[in-house]
Amino acid sequence: MGGAIDPAYSDLLARLYAGVASDRPWQAFLEDLARWMDASFATIIISTPGRRHPATFLTPGADAAFNATYAATLFADDPFQGLPDGQVISYAEFMANLPAHDAVEYRAIMRDSGFDQVLGIDLHFARKFEARFRISRHVSLPEFTAAERRRLQDLVIHLRIAVDLFERLQFAGAEHGVFHSAAQGLGLAVVVLDRSRRIVSTNPLADRILSEDEGLRRRGDELVFARSEHQRTIVALLGEGTPAAPLTRFRIERPAHGDVVITARPLDLSAIHAGTGALALFFAQPGPEKTTDPQTLRDLFGLTMAEARLAAALTGASTLVDTAQALGIAHNTAKVQLRSVFAKTGVHRQAELVALIASLGG
pLDDT at 273: 44
Residues in the chain: 362
Considering the domain architecture, whether residues 125 and 137 belong to the same structural domain is answered as yes
What backbone phi and psi angles, to 5 degrees, belong to 211? Answer: -70, -20
Helix (H) / strand (E) containing 224:
strand 222-225
Whether the Cβ atoms of residue 234 and residue 193 lie closer than 8 Å to each other: yes
Considering the domain architecture, whether residues 208 and 317 belong to the same structural domain is answered as no
Q: What CATH number is attached to the domain comprising 362?
A: 1.10.10.10
User: Residues 90-102: what's their mean pLDDT?
Assistant: 89
Q: What CATH number is attached to the domain comprising 213?
A: 3.30.450.20
Considering the domain architecture, whether residues 348 and 325 belong to the same structural domain is answered as yes
Considering the domain architecture, whether residues 16 and 140 belong to the same structural domain is answered as yes
pLDDT at 83: 92
pLDDT band at 187 (very low <50, low <70, confident <90, very high): low
pLDDT band at 276 (very low <50, low <70, confident <90, very high): very low
pLDDT band at 120 (very low <50, low <70, confident <90, very high): very high
User: Is there a domain that residue 109 lies in?
Assistant: yes
Half-sphere exposure of 156 (CA within 13 A, CB side): 20
User: Is there a domain that residue 136 lies in?
Assistant: yes
User: Is there a domain that residue 156 lies in?
Assistant: no
Which of 263, 286, 309 lies at the terminal end of a domain, its last residue? Answer: 286
Distance from chain centroid for Cα 335: 31
Residue 286 corresponds to which amino acid? Answer: P
DSSP string, 240-276: SSSPPPS-EEEEE--TTT--EEEEEEE---TTTTTT-
Considering the domain architecture, whether residues 84 and 23 belong to the same structural domain is answered as yes
Considering the domain architecture, whether residues 186 and 275 belong to the same structural domain is answered as yes
User: Is there a domain that residue 269 lies in?
Assistant: yes
Name the nearest CA neighbour of 283 among 342, 343, 359.
359
Exposed / middle / buried, residue 300 (Cβ in 10 Å: 0-12, 13-18, 19+): buried
Name the nearest CA neighbour of 263 among 361, 136, 332, 122.
361
User: Residues 163-187: what's their mean pLDDT?
Assistant: 63
Give the number of domains in the chain.
Answer: 3
Whether the Cβ atoms of residue 266 and residue 278 lie closer than 8 Å to each other: yes
For residue 226, give the 3-state DSSP assignment: coil
pLDDT at 141: 92
Name the nearest CA neighbour of 315 among 358, 345, 284.
358
Q: Which residues of 47-76 are buried (b: 16+ CB within 10 A; e: fewer)?
A: bbeebeebbbbbbbebeeeeeeebbeeebe
pLDDT at 271: 45
Domain that holds residue 309: 290-362
Considering the domain architecture, whether residues 233 and 360 belong to the same structural domain is answered as no
Considering the domain architecture, whether residues 92 and 23 belong to the same structural domain is answered as yes
Neighbours of 350 (CB within 10 A): 19
* Residues near 295 by beta carbon (within 8 Å), at least 6 away in sequence: 181, 185, 305, 308
User: Is there a domain that residue 158 lies in?
Assistant: no
User: Is there a domain that residue 322 lies in?
Assistant: yes
Which of 266, 286, 306 lies at the terminal end of a domain, its last residue? Answer: 286
Considering the domain architecture, whether residues 136 and 19 belong to the same structural domain is answered as yes
pLDDT at 76: 79
Which of 286, 312, 343 lies at the terminal end of a domain, its last residue? Answer: 286
Considering the domain architecture, whether residues 262 and 182 belong to the same structural domain is answered as yes
Considering the domain architecture, whether residues 318 and 270 belong to the same structural domain is answered as no
pLDDT at 29: 94
What tens digit of pLDDT does each residue of 290-331 get?
Answer: 556 787 788 777 788 888 889 888 877 678 888 888 888 888
5-13 — which CB contacts under 8 Å span 24+ positions? 8/36, 9/36, 12/36, 12/155, 13/158
Tell me the CA distances in angstroms from 356 to 283, 292, 342, one per residue in order.
13, 12, 11
Q: Could you give the CA distance from residue 28 to residue 9 in angstroms, rounded to a whole number?
A: 14
242 pLDDT exceeds 70? Answer: no
Q: Which residue has the higher pLDDT, 214 or 103?
A: 214
Considering the domain architecture, whether residues 101 and 21 belong to the same structural domain is answered as yes
Lowest mean pLDDT among 168-182, 303-317, 333-347: 168-182
Exposed / middle / buried, residue 357 (Cβ in 10 Å: 0-12, 13-18, 19+): buried
pLDDT at 213: 94
pLDDT band at 180 (very low <50, low <70, confident <90, very high): low
What tens digit of pLDDT does each residue of 36-86 get?
Answer: 999 999 999 988 776 777 878 889 998 887 778 787 777 878 889 889 999
User: Is there a domain that residue 104 lies in?
Assistant: yes
Global model pTM greater than 0.75 = no
5 pLDDT exceeds 50? Answer: yes
The dihedral region occupied by 50, where left means phi > 0, alpha psi between -120 and 50, and beta the remainder, is left
Q: Could you give the CA distance from residue 77 to residue 91 in angstroms, rounded to a whole number?
A: 15
User: Is there a domain that residue 153 lies in?
Assistant: no
Q: What CATH number is attached to the domain comprising 100?
A: 3.30.450.80
Highest mean pLDDT among 82-86, 189-193, 266-270, 311-315: 82-86
